[in-house]
Amino acid sequence: MMRRIANLARLAAVLEVSSEKPGNVDSEHDFPDTSYEDFLSGAIALGSGIEISAANGFRAGKGEIGVNEIGIGNSILRCVSDIKESHDGGNTHLGTVMLFVPIAAGAGLCMGMGKELKGGLRNSIVEVVKNSTLKDSNKLYDAIELSEVSGLGRLVRKELPFHELMKNSLERDTIADELGEGLPIVFERGIPALDRNYGVSGGLRRAVSQTYLELLAEFPDTFIARKLSMRDAEKVSKKAREVVGKGGVFTDKGIRAVEEFDNFLRNSEKKLNPGTTADLVAASLFVWMLLRL
């Protein structure tokens, strides 16, 4: 089961990057320094760290180790290290991994306690994050440095456990908010959207594309906000709402609007790529598939 969790994480990352997402890398679009193939390599490489996280969660559920010994920081660092070794395209999955690792640990914890994922996964993820430690935060700092990004939000290096770091040291970052608040976007917006859009389309990649548009329409992308400004992020969300209002990927009018939106984001001098939204969609897809085990 722990291997299945890891493989679902790989599949979620592959499906996310293989689905059309305006402004981001997908199967038809590369960035100058990062290719679709780089994302595929990273998606495969992250599985070992995810499996370790799930297994440690399972052991904690069985009472073999404490929940505070699961080591989500170590697993995040392991994933980032394996991803970095898999390609030369820079950071492809740091935000995704920060979400995937606690999700996998929560799934393992839930299974170890003999609970059904459908009823217990979210609470188990909250328990994992709540019991994180200062060591987990320090390993996160190492992972951010290894990934060679400037950091998620305004990272202030403080001597805080991971959970408190998410609440207090990562300003204006949706991924930090998700981890600190129990994944409200993933569970309350992303999964229902995937359910609804999969029911309409019957195809998972189309459902992913539409869910991406809907989340972007509702939540300004903090990756754009950090690079540029919240005002720029809000403008992108406004345009996404216009696309969704025309039907998104489900109508001819919407498909034309999606193409125009994609051209706007890619041709902008500001390089408007909603990377945080892609991470949220990947995490939503991972949980969506876990709940169907």
Question: Is 216 domain-assigned?
Answer: no
Residue 160 or 61, more confident: 61
- pLDDT band at residue 129 under the 50/70/90 scheme: very high
Q: Report d(CA 77, CA 139) in Å as an integer.
A: 6
For the cut 60, the answer to whether the pLDDT of residue 56 exceeds it is yes
Q: Is residue 237 part of a domain?
A: no
Residue with tokens 């229902």: 192
Residue 228: other Cβ atoms inside 10 A: 16
Q: What is the pTM of this model?
A: 0.96
Instruction: Indicate whether 212 belongs to any domain.
Output: no
Residue 144 within a domain: yes
Q: Is residue 274 part of a domain?
A: no
Give the pLDDT of residue 153: 45
- Segment 73-88 mean pLDDT: 97
Q: Is residue 259 part of a domain?
A: no
Q: What is the pLDDT of residue 157?
A: 66
Q: For the beta carbon of residue 186, count every other beta carbon within 10 angstroms.
A: 24
Which tokens in the block code for residue 197?
Answer: 């859009």
Q: What percent of the chain has pLDDT over 70?
A: 96
Burial letters 280-293, b for 16+ CB under 10 A, else e = bbbbbbbbbbbbee
Q: Tens digit of pLDDT for each residue in 135-188?
A: 999 999 899 889 887 545 455 567 889 998 888 766 678 999 999 999 999 999
**Closest alpha carbon to 36 in 15, 51, 56, 53:** 15
275 within domain boundaries: no
What CATH number does residue 61 fall under? 1.10.4200
Q: Where are the alpha helices (DSSP H) in the chain?
A: 2-18, 36-45, 47-61, 72-86, 94-112, 117-130, 134-147, 162-168, 174-181, 184-185, 191-201, 204-218, 222-227, 230-245, 252-267, 275-290
Q: Give the count of domains, the chain.
A: 1
For the chain, the average pLDDT equals 94
pLDDT score of 115 more than 60: yes
Residue 116 inside a domain? The answer is yes
Domain hosting 165: range is 2-201+282-290
Tens-digit pLDDT profile for residues 189-222: 999 999 999 999 989 999 999 999 999 999 999 9
Token pair of 266 as six digits: 């890619």
